[in-house]
């Protein structure tokens, strides 16, 4: 539907229709004041810290390796479990921005699986 709306708007301005080959541009402005910092978390099979609280942080992006089984994150920093957090299957990515990105967060997943975490302030 979004593509239909973008296409209808484009027709009136003689622009190129939106498609996978010609997507709308994505511009992130004023979202982060600094570059993202990348880290890797190896899960232990128990609820553990994903990121500590940081009042200056404005974005957290968490990506689960494609080969991972199910994992979960808890953006409130509580004890995390597969049935009590934001689910993260292999290959999934979650982005948390704004005030919500400032809290401590926890993760849970099978021992040895990896999450890639990007944070920015």
**Rounded-to-integer distance, Cα 36 and Cα 29, Å:** 14
User: For 13-68, how does the pLDDT look when each residue is reduced to its tens digit (9 = 90+)?
Assistant: 555 566 667 665 655 555 545 688 999 999 999 999 999 999 999 999 999 988 88
Q: For residue 107, is pLDDT > 90?
A: yes
Contacts of 53 (CB under 8 A, 6+ apart): 77, 102, 103, 104
- Its pTM stands at 0.71
Q: What is the pLDDT of residue 116?
A: 94
Select the more confidently predicted residue: 3 or 109: 109
């Amino acid at each position: 539907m979004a593509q239909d709306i973008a296409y209808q708007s484009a027709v009136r301005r003689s622009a190129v229709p939106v498609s996978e080959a010609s997507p709308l541009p994505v511009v992130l402005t004023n979202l982060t004041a600094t570059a993202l910092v990348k880290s890797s978390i190896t899960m232990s099979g128990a609820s553990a810290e994903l990121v500590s609280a940081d009042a200056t942080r404005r974005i957290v992006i968490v990506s689960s390796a494609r080969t991972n089984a199910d994992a979960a994150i808890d953006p409130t920093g509580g004890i995390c479990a597969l049935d009590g957090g934001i689910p993260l299957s292999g290959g999934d990515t979650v982005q948390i921005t704004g005030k919500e990105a400032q809290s401590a967060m926890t993760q849970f997943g099978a021992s040895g699986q990896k999450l890639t975490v990007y944070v920015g302030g």
